[in-house]
Amino acid sequence: MYIIFSPKSWQEYIDNQSEKQLIKKTNELIKELMRGNNTKGTGKAELLKHNLSGYYSKRITEAHRLIYSFENGDLLIYKCRGHYEN
């Protein structure tokens, strides 16, 4: 399984490096997802609708969400900063 970041999410991930708690929680969620724990572990996986149909969301903090999906066995990170399209 590979982790694939969208260009936007990679920039968000880089920007998150300055906030220690935010990057720590983001990394914990990614590690859990890499172990195959989509519905278990930290946070509740929410299946998204409308323009993000097929993606899941897990809360990183009150203001930030990890939005991701699985494709061909790989973890695709769509967003890791902000709340949906904010």
Condensed to tens digits (0 to 9), the pLDDT of residues 67-84 reads 999 999 899 999 998 875
Both tokens of residue 49?
Answer: 């609708």
- Give the pLDDT score at 83: 72
Say yes or no: domain 3-79 is CATH 3.40.50.10790: no
Question: Residue 86: its pLDDT value, please?
Answer: 47
- As given in the structure block, the two tokens for residue 32 are 């859990």
Q: Considering the candidates 19, 28, 32, 83, report the single residue annotated as catalytic.
A: 83
**Has 83 been annotated as catalytic?**
yes
Tell me which residue of 63, 21, 59, 56 sits closest to 43, measured CA to CA.
Answer: 59
Domain ranges of the chain: 3-79
**Span 6-64, pLDDT tens digits:** 999 999 999 999 999 999 999 999 999 998 777 777 878 899 999 999 999 999 988 89
User: Which amino acid is located at 19 in the chain?
Assistant: E
Catalytic residue among 46, 62, 71, 85: 46
Q: Can you give the pTM of this predicted structure?
A: 0.87
The phi, psi pair for 21, rounded to 5°, reads -65, -40
Helix (H) or strand (E) run with residue 71 in it: strand 65-71
Sheet holding 46-47, edge to edge: 3-5, 74-79, 65-71, 56-59, 46-47
